[in-house]
Amino acid sequence: MVDQLRVNLGNRSYLLHFGDDLASEVRAQVDALIRAGRKVADLTDRNLVQAQGPALTRMLGDVPLLTVEPGEDTKSLRGLGQVLDFLAEQRLDRGGVLLIAGGGVIGDLGGFAAASYLRGIPFLQVPTTLLSMVDSAVGGKTGINLKAGKNLVGAFHQPNGVYISTGLLATLPPREFAAGMAEVIKYGLLGDAALFAQLEKTPLTVASAELGAVVRRCCAIKAALVEADEYERAKDGGRALLNLGHTFGHAIEQVAGYGSYLHGEAVAIGLCAAARLSQKLKLISSADVARVDAVVAAHALPVRLRQPLPWSALQAAMLRDKKVRAGAPRFIVLQQVGVAATRDDVSLALAEACFREVGAS
């Protein structure tokens, strides 16, 4: 029996399907669409084709497939054009469906292409990395990067279904699994102190018996926040809490150059910086900061920059971030481990101090 979780968004509601191997369920959905006269096309990347070729074949059959290069460079205007041209070449109409199999880059790129092509077509997500399973495949945020910053172009476009097969993680490189753990740690910090304590006690690995349950737990937290604040418009809290560590992390990614740090690695350093910010605001203790550092390190993630990055460039990147309000960056802070809040009153001097403590120059 496949476990399911519903994301309740009125006429845009959809199911998250959980299991170790959902290839047959995906294939059944693809076959049903084709029988109904609807064209299906698939987007994936070269790494997944090499690592999970047989699984893709079981899921897709002979559905037309576009394979793109992995990495943040693909999540670009050029990459978007490539996907849109592919959809047009396959003559998908508004009843057509794009199936997206891959990690966060492919999901964001494909979702935005689906939102843009013919002003919006349906799409299905098959996330294949831990990061995409627990975070980016759920909630309908799609987009691409510009030279000026991360995810500055995009759209809210909810999927029609998400199929989360944790067995696909068996071939995920250890560094990519660790990157996904940054988002898992984030969920514990912002809304589940028991999950954080569990990670403190026993680091999660791809072989952990509780992996599937933890993935579902993170998805349930995100689904609840998305249901309450789908378009991130809440004055305080809401969906913005999911950006814990990301104001710092996105700046690191941009200044270091996309690909120098995996997204999860930059977020991990961002979580450590956010913990320091929370302590400087007298919300948590130095012992709590040490707990955050310890859990991040225990999951093979960086707590500091590998090489110093200039504060001036990091500041400029933060001020171009999509979360800026009235010219000031917006930060997510910890009121305590397991409870987060938005803050719009953080001075750049305070942000600088936190960045310097994690290795900025």
What residues act catalytically?
119, 141, 183, 222, 232, 239, 243, 246, 250, 263
DSSP class of residue 123 equals E
Beta bridge partners of 153: 144
Alpha carbons within 13 A on the beta-carbon side of 321: 26
Phi then psi for residue 334, to 5 deg, are -100, 120
- Contacts for 24 with CB less than 8 Å, ≥ 6 apart: 58
Q: What is the DSSP string of 207-275?
A: T-TTHHHHHHHHHHHHHHHHHH-TTS--SSSGGGGGGTTHHHHHHHHHHH-TTSS-HHHHHHHHHHHHH
In whole angstroms, give the CA distance from residue 298 to residue 261. 18
